[in-house]
Structure 1
Amino acid sequence: MIDDGRRLVAAVRLGKDTVDVLRRWRPPDDAQRELTLEFMRHLNEHTLDGMWRECAAGHITASTLVLDSTRTRVLLTLHSKIKAWLQLGGHVEPRDETLAAAALREAREESGIRGLRLLGTGPVQLDRHAVRCHPQGSWHLDVQYAAIAPPGARHAISDESDDLAWFPVDALPEPTDDALRRLVARAVAS
């Protein structure tokens, strides 16, 4: 378990990195610009805990949409709690050096694929969605990246998934949501 001093240092480091990521990112539309401002306000108001799951007002998460080396298929998880097909991702941890590193760690842990390479220099999109991390409810402020898997990559189902499978980018499975459909379209277009 990480001690409080190291956790505080990690919160400051990761919070600064996340603010830098959001400042450098060029949102593709007005809705994404508004979410960027919302995420920045959250980090300004929750400087010491806004990155952690314990922040009841919401917390930053990192996810990764994994594309195959041809960019024609996407690896999705049938999330064991949500019961929908989603990209890979989750909570930022104090051991993560950067937000991008957290996104890649989550993708590696949930896919079993080594050698994933982030697409581009920053996130593909942001998404804010309700979650049940706290009894009164909370929000995931998800910074969503895309990654390319090496040719011939083989995946392994983690304990967070009911299933894990490749799907054509133009034939996503159900159930899923519009946020995932937008993420896939933006990642393929990148």
Structure 2
Amino acid sequence: MEFNLREKLLTEIKEYQSEYKEEQAFKPRFENLLSNYENCFERSLLMGHITASAWILNQKRDSILLLHHAKLNKWLQPGGHADGDENVRAVALKEAEEETGISGFVFASNQIFDLDIHTIPERKEVPEHEHYDVRFLLVAPERAVPQLNHESNDLKWIHFSNLKEKISHEPSLMRIYAKTKQFI
């Protein structure tokens, strides 16, 4: 029997439980995208596509690694396009490594940590579209030092005591922050 990552993800999303009503509302939309659009892991699906991201804790579990996204001009978690890869865990890990310059992350849990669908504004030749983001909780290796790249204006560890001021504009990040408390 062939191992089908798309079917595995679809099953995980169907079984995913959340106390947050917005995530429960996202589930049927994810299921529709995965079931009805063969190219849903490709950014060429202009209505929307699967992305993956990483909410990254430090070893002390008192800070989160965020980047100030150059195109969107706000603080966000590392993440990005699947570009055809149906292994969303691998995509989240790859994006975390590429966008932070850190390797050696471990998954705090193998389970999906959060689901989100958010609108990306029109930019150049790409129309406004939605990112169907599958999010995972990662822990960085000890003494991990982030390296800024061209996709970000800034990249830094933000202590929980200062986190709300950076992410209060993003309800989905506030939701992830609330979920993080069970891991610290």
Task: Give TM-score, length-normalised by structure 2.
Answer: 0.87
User: CA offset at residue 39 of structure 1?
Assistant: 0.5
CA distance in 2: counterparts of 1:13 and 1:162, whole angstroms: 38
The runs of 5 or more residues in structure 1 that have no matched partner are: 1-11
CA distance in 1: counterparts of 2:26 and 2:77, whole angstroms: 19
Aligned residue runs from structure 1 range 1-190, under 5 A: 13-46=4-37, 48-94=38-84, 96=85, 98-131=87-120, 132=122, 135-172=126-163, 173-174=165-166, 176-190=169-183
Quote the sequence identity (%).
Answer: 29
CA distance in 1: counterparts of 2:81 and 2:50, whole angstroms: 7
- Equivalent pair of 1:111/1:158 in contact (CA under 8 Å): yes
- Equivalent pair of 1:58/1:141 in contact (CA under 8 Å): yes
The runs of 5 or more residues in structure 2 that have no matched partner are: none
Cα 1:31/1:97, change in 2 over 3 Å: closer
- Equivalent pair of 2:57/2:63 in contact (CA under 8 Å): yes
SS in 2 for 1:120: coil
Structure 1 moving runs of 4+ over 4 Å:
none
User: More displaced, 171-180 or 108-117?
Assistant: 171-180
Task: Give TM-score, length-normalised by structure 1.
Answer: 0.84
User: CA offset at residue 156 of structure 1?
Assistant: 0.5
CA distance in 1: counterparts of 2:41 and 2:136, whole angstroms: 17
1:113-161 deviation per Cα after TM superposition (whole angstroms, max 9, x unaligned): 1110112122211111111366441100111111001111111012111
